[in-house]
Structures are given as C-alpha cells and as structure tokens.
Amino acid sequence: MRFQKSSAENILTLILAGALILGSVSKIMAYGKFQFIVWVAVPEELLSHMVAGVVIASELLIAMLILFPRSRGWAAAAAAGMLVAYSAIASVLKALGRMYECACFGLLLPSSIDLSFYLRNGVLLVCALTIALLARRASMNSEDVRISLLRRVRPALLGIDALLVGWWFALYVR
C-alpha cells in the first residue's frame, strides 16, 4: 500500500486540529490559570480577559477551519503564526523572569517553558507549515507553488529565528 500525500495531509491536519481543540478546551476548563498567565504578559485586568478570550476563540476557529479543505492552507498558516507568537512571547517573559510555565493545555498537561515546550511547539509548527504547503500545492502549477512557498515560508522562517533567539536569550542571558 502506498502512502499518499493526501493521507499525510489528513493525518497532520487531525493532529494539529486535535492539539488546538485540546488546548482551547483545557484553557476554558482552567480559565483562571490561563487568564493569570495572560495577565503576566498584559497586566491590565480587563484587557487580559479580552486577550484570553480572543486566544481561545482563535484556536477554536482555526481548529474548525483547518478541517475544511478550502480553508485548510490559510488556517494552517494562521496556526503556525500563533505557535510562533506564543513561543516568542513565552521566551521573552521567561527571560525577563516573569513566567516559568505555560497554560497551553491548562491543567490537563501542565508544562514549564523548557526544552519540551519548544519541542512540542516545534513539532506542531512543522505540522502546520507542512499542511499549509500541501494544501496550497494541490491547487497550483509549479511556478505558482514556488512563489507561494516563498510567501509562506519567509514569515515562518523569521518566526523560527525569533523563537531561537528567544530560546537562546532565555537560556543564556540571565
């Protein structure tokens, strides 16, 4: 039996959608802890509640949109952006000594900001970028694929660079 590209895309899509749904549901279940961690980044009570709500709603919306083939590529690119943003913000806050744990999966999977945090986000980022590229490639000719690849990968590479710099900063600059 041959493993087809669409099968790989479907498996990665289910993994990423599952992670987003699990993350948003667990954030809702442990909303107080998640809102406190958001408050560390945004130390204004009302604004931190709004940001927490937007994060949860965005994760649920992206998880739903990624399941539909027509919106899969853009939803996966949005998921990649969110993963890079979360990782960069957590890295900076850890480097500043303001945050040492994330509430990515609420109380379900408590996690500190360490190597496992970066590995998990890195794996999910690779899933998201792969889905985005596979979804777009299916509907384009080869020249369009190269142009689209450059447009999609460049921001992701910049985000990965920012993530690595944040990680280095958190580990070595104290």
pLDDT tops 80 at residue 143:
no
User: Is the Cβ–Cβ distance between 159 and 81 less than 8 Å?
Assistant: yes
Q: What is the mean pLDDT of residues 94-108?
A: 79
pLDDT bracket for residue 80 (50, 70, 90): very high
pLDDT at position 174 is 46
Q: What is the mean pLDDT of residues 21-33?
A: 88
Query: Comparing C-alpha atoms, which of 78, 80, 84 is closest to residue 65?
Result: 78
Neighbours of 55 (CB within 10 A): 19
Helix extents (H) in 66-141: 72-95, 115-137
Higher pLDDT, 170 or 136: 136
pLDDT at position 125 is 93
The vertex-36 CA angle with 35 and 42, nearest 5°, equals 85
User: Is the Cβ–Cβ distance between 87 and 118 less than 8 Å?
Assistant: yes
Structurally, how many domains does the chain consist of?
1
Higher pLDDT, 60 or 169: 60
User: Is the Cβ–Cβ distance between 101 and 112 less than 8 Å?
Assistant: yes
Query: Comparing C-alpha atoms, which of 31, 34, 62, 35 is closest to residue 46?
Result: 35
Higher pLDDT, 42 or 85: 85
Higher pLDDT, 88 or 7: 88
> Which structural domain range is residue 141 located in?
5-172
Q: Is the dihedral of CA 60, 65, 67, 72 positive or negative?
A: negative
Which of 10-14, 23-27, 141-145 has the least mean pLDDT? Answer: 141-145
d(CA 49, CA 32): 10
Q: CB within 8 A of 59, min separation 6: which ones?
A: 20, 21, 23, 24, 27, 82
